Amino acid sequence: MFFLNHIWLIPLFPAFGAAMMFFFGRRLQKATVSAVCVGVVVLAFLFACFTVVEYTHFAHGTGRPFEKIVYTWLGSGDGHLNFVKRDGRLASFNADAGFLLDPLSSIWLLFVTGVGMVIHIYSVGYMAHEGGYYRFFGYMNLFMFTMLLLILANNYMLLFVGWEGVGLCSYLLIGFYFHRKSASDAASKAFIVNRIGDAGFILGALALSWYLGSFRFIDINALAHSGHFAIGDPVLTAAALLLFVGACGKSAQIPLYVWLPDAMEGPTPVSALIHAATMVTAGVYMVARSNAVYMLAPTAMKTVAIIGALTAVFAASIALVQNDIKRVLAYSTISQLGYMFLALGVGAFAAGVFHVFTHAFFKALLFLGAGSVIHAMSGEQDMRNMGDLRGRISTTYKTMLIGTLAIAGIPPLAGFFSKDEILWQAWRSAEGSFPYLWLIGFGTALMTAFYMARLIFLTFYGQPRMSHEVEHHVHESPKSMTGPLVVLAIGSVCAGWLGVPASFGGRNVFGKFLEPVFAQDVAASVAPREPAGEENRGLEWTLMVLSVGAAVVGGGWAHHYYAKAGKDYPEPIAVDAPPLYTVLYNKWFVDEAYDYVFTGRRKIGDVRLGAMGAGEASSWFDAKIIDGTVNDVGWVTRAVATLSTWWDKWIIDGLGVNGPAILARMMSYPARLFEWGLVQWYALVMVAGLLGFGVYYVWK
Amino acid sequence: MEGRAGTPGAPRTENRALRTMVPITTLHYLVVAAALFVLGVIGVLTRRNVVIVLMSIELILNAVNLNLVAFSRMWGNLHGQVFAIFITVDAAAEAAVGLGILISFFRNKETINVDEIDLLKW
């Protein structure tokens, strides 16, 4: 039990690395930075492996969760922070620094640390010649810390800390080349769009705790299963929808997906780790974690499924015509995340999680492969300027081909099993229109095969379209980069074998492992429309053949159009349907629409909407209404003051004060005539007076 | 003095000039003092120069002094003389203060003409 009891150490390893980089990174050698930062992630991975092994012994296949509460982080047990629940009873506001390990978080723990470790090793080679080396690794370690906190948290509040932390690290790493305006803009965009989702998440979590009286997953699960709450409970539905808003932000679903393509401004290992394999699956994790609540909210489930399916097909359609290699992969990621939410929405939580797991391998592989291509092409990302690289960087080519086959769903690679499971579950689920969702998923699979094959053909086949200097400089990446590619390629091949469905005679180890987390749910509201037993094996096989067929057809089309692409190769969609091409190439003008409606960067005629519109409106209100009122009041005051001044000057001062003074002056005029100022005259008068007195008294 | 001048024991054969000498009485003094006083008053009233005016005031004071001394002699005691000394001291002090005012005034107005000194006129 040593490892389970010290589970809280797992996030602390990368936290230590991040702290080291924060305090001393500037003074450390690159070799030291690599040793510390990669070392702590390797340690975390090993620790995680041992912990999960110990957990399987602990759980004995029952899937009972292991919970380790380190200390009370928010609130207290002594009732000082109580609140009244909706049913009128008192509950204490309480969030622990607690860690929860169950099959769901075990899976995330393993692939986050595993893929994270591989990508850290890859970064040592990829970032070797970049400035800010320690800064990059410090951010990466900080990301690992917050991501592990997110998946190991035992309550919504601690999960939210990790949730915000990964958002912060995503911001920091997208803006890693902060001297480039486009990078810092993309970072801000990611942060702001995520903030909208985060608002939904925190409201949903608070609504849940207000309704159920706890933040802890175990309590909430138990309460949701207790039978006290009806299916379709409005508060739970609202909370589930709010949580899904958060998931939309973090996991790039319609309508909050716009930040993810721009996030490709960050270094490629960041795209692989954060924006493909781990962080963007946090939304899936959170929804899967809240599955008990979602099962009680069929409306929310339906919303999740529809949004997921729409996102899948929408992003895939954009990926068909993009030329930037990383952007194709970014839209592919959005599309695959849509698949995962489709699975969650139809109640196939295990299938969704399985797709997260396999996707982590092949999408990280594809991104790292793209990074290797970009490395070989001296920084060129535009596929129009590539071509014929397969012989020159053969390891990259082979591994990327494996990743492409995996994502396209070619058996027996990883993507086949997980994607087929999702499509099958979409087909057989009870919720009314889900066969349509299957159809959307099917179409998306076709597009996926097409755009991924297009990427491969444009990059590795055809004629070289790059300039001579670049062509001369093409070279295979160092071992530290190709090694991770090979590891991930092996993962992309084998990861699917964990979940071979019963129809293939497999045992679906993955699904069995997760069953305790989701077991009760399938029974609750989403009863399968088609039973999964032997009698439907034929249907399942048919669908499977269809989707593999779609993958082959998509790849075949791409081969037809792009395999021999020379300079100025034609885009088939641009040739056959130019308007459609314009729309897809401009990403359905969604960024423009958001500029019109939400940011207000563009005006509709003379009207400006959105944030800037609100700013202008409140500026107008302030200038005209508030200031106008202030000025009017000022004008009235001044008028009154003028009147009052006139009164004071002419009536009070004039009549009251100066009037008597003037009167006194006029009356005193005769008296003043006697005093003309000549001293000798006064003396003469005195003498005359004295003489007068003398004469008077003498003569009397 | 009167006694000595009209000493009965003096020989009758003294010259005519001596015979015709009238003894100086108090009245004589008073006349002289009155003349001095009138001169002083006229000076005060007519001269424009403040220095002259002050000098004229001295004349008036000394006319009074002469009176006091004359009456002192008449009565045969010293009261009047003491008083005269007081007045002399007083006149000296008055001259000092008056000249001080005069100088400071001259510094301001560059004149010591009495008819131009009329700042206190309403």
Is there a contact between A677 and B121 if contact means CB atoms under 8 Å apart?
Answer: yes
pLDDT tens across A8-47, in order?
999 999 999 999 999 998 888 999 999 999 999 999 999 9
- Cα A428 versus chain centre, distance: 32
Q: Quick one: average pLDDT of A426-453?
A: 82
pLDDT at B72: 93
Q: Quick one: average pLDDT of A516-526?
A: 56
B62–chain A nearest CA distance, Å:
18
Is there a contact between B121 and A684 if contact means CB atoms under 8 Å apart?
Answer: no
Considering CB atoms only, which of B41, B115, B121 is closest to A687? B41
Cβ-based contacts of B41 with chain A (< 8 Å): 687
Alpha-carbon distance of B88 to A545, in angstroms, equals: 148
**What percent of chain A stands above pLDDT 90?**
51
CB pairs A-B closer than 8 Å: 25
pLDDT at A535: 57
The string of DSSP codes covering B51-77 is HHHHHHHHHHHHHHHHHHHHHHHHHTS
pLDDT over 90 at A432, yes or no: no
Of A467 and A627, the structure prediction assigns the larger pLDDT to: A627
Work out the pLDDT band at A434, boundaries 50, 70, 90.
low
pLDDT over 80 at B120, yes or no: no
pLDDT over 70 at A534, yes or no: no
pLDDT at A525: 43
Alpha-carbon distance of A138 to A673, in angstroms, equals: 101
pLDDT at B121: 67
Alpha-carbon distance of A22 to B70, in angstroms, equals: 117
Alpha-carbon distance of A331 to A326, in angstroms, equals: 9
pLDDT over 70 at A81, yes or no: no
pLDDT at B6: 46
pLDDT at B19: 63
Cβ contact A690:B60 at 8 Å: no
Interacting residues of A154 by C-beta distance below 8 A, sequence separation 6+? A67, A69, A96, A98, A99, A100, A216, A217, A218
pLDDT at A519: 60
A632–chain B nearest CA distance, Å:
52
The string of DSSP codes covering A509-530 is HHHHHHHHHHHHHHHHT---SS
pLDDT over 90 at A82, yes or no: no
pLDDT tens across B56-114, in order?
999 999 999 999 999 999 999 999 999 999 999 999 999 999 999 999 989 988 888 88
pLDDT at A387: 85
pLDDT tens across A194-239, in order?
999 999 999 999 898 888 888 889 888 888 888 788 888 899 999 9
Helix A234-250 / helix A181-212 crossing angle, nearest 10 deg: 160
pLDDT at A522: 46
pLDDT over 50 at A523, yes or no: no
- Residue of chain A with shortest Cα separation from B46: A680
Question: Given the DSSP bridges, would you call strands A82-84 and A66-75 parallel, antiparallel or unpaired?
Answer: unpaired
pLDDT at A532: 53
Interacting residues of A364 by C-beta distance below 8 A, sequence separation 6+? A115, A118, A119, A272, A273, A276, A277, A488
Work out the pLDDT band at A527, boundaries 50, 70, 90.
very low
Cβ contact B37:B63 at 8 Å: yes
**A278 SS3 class:** coil
Is there a contact between B118 and A687 if contact means CB atoms under 8 Å apart?
Answer: no
pLDDT at A369: 93
Work out the pLDDT band at A80, boundaries 50, 70, 90.
low
B121–chain A nearest CA distance, Å:
5
Cβ-based contacts of B44 with chain A (< 8 Å): 680, 683
Q: Where are the domains of chain B?
A: 14-113
Q: Quick one: average pLDDT of A541-545?
A: 86
pLDDT tens across A91-119, in order?
777 788 899 998 999 999 999 999 999 99
Q: Up-side HSE of residue A622: CA atoms within 13 Å toward CB?
A: 6
Cβ contact A548:A141 at 8 Å: no
Work out the pLDDT band at B118, boundaries 50, 70, 90.
confident
What single-letter DSSP state applies at residue A535? G
- Residue of chain A with shortest Cα separation from B53: A680
Q: Tell which phi-psi region holds residue A589, choosing left (phi > 0), alpha (psi between -120 and 50) or beta.
A: left
pLDDT at A326: 92
Q: Quick one: average pLDDT of A623-643?
A: 95
Q: Quick one: average pLDDT of A363-376?
A: 92
pLDDT tens across A570-610, in order?
888 888 888 888 888 888 888 888 888 888 888 888 888 88
Nearest to A107 by CA among A514, A518, A501: A514
Chain B residues with a Cβ under 8 Å from any Cβ in chain A = 41, 44-46, 48, 53, 114-115, 117-118, 120-122
pLDDT at A370: 93
Of A13 and A80, the structure prediction assigns the larger pLDDT to: A13
pLDDT tens across A113-146, in order?
999 999 999 999 888 888 889 999 999 999 999 9
Fold of B14-113: Helix Hairpins (1.10.287)
Q: How many helices (H) and strands (E) does chain A have?
A: 30, 4
pLDDT tens across A260-313, in order?
999 998 899 999 998 888 999 999 999 999 988 998 888 899 899 999 999 999
pLDDT at B1: 43
Cβ contact A69:A154 at 8 Å: yes
Is there a contact between A680 and B118 if contact means CB atoms under 8 Å apart?
Answer: no
Work out the pLDDT band at A524, boundaries 50, 70, 90.
very low
pLDDT at A194: 93
pLDDT at A78: 59
pLDDT at A674: 75
Work out the pLDDT band at A679, boundaries 50, 70, 90.
confident
Nearest to A134 by CA among A264, A27, A266, A271: A27
Bridge partners of A68, per DSSP, are A99
Alpha-carbon distance of A573 to A250, in angstroms, equals: 32
pLDDT over 80 at A186, yes or no: yes
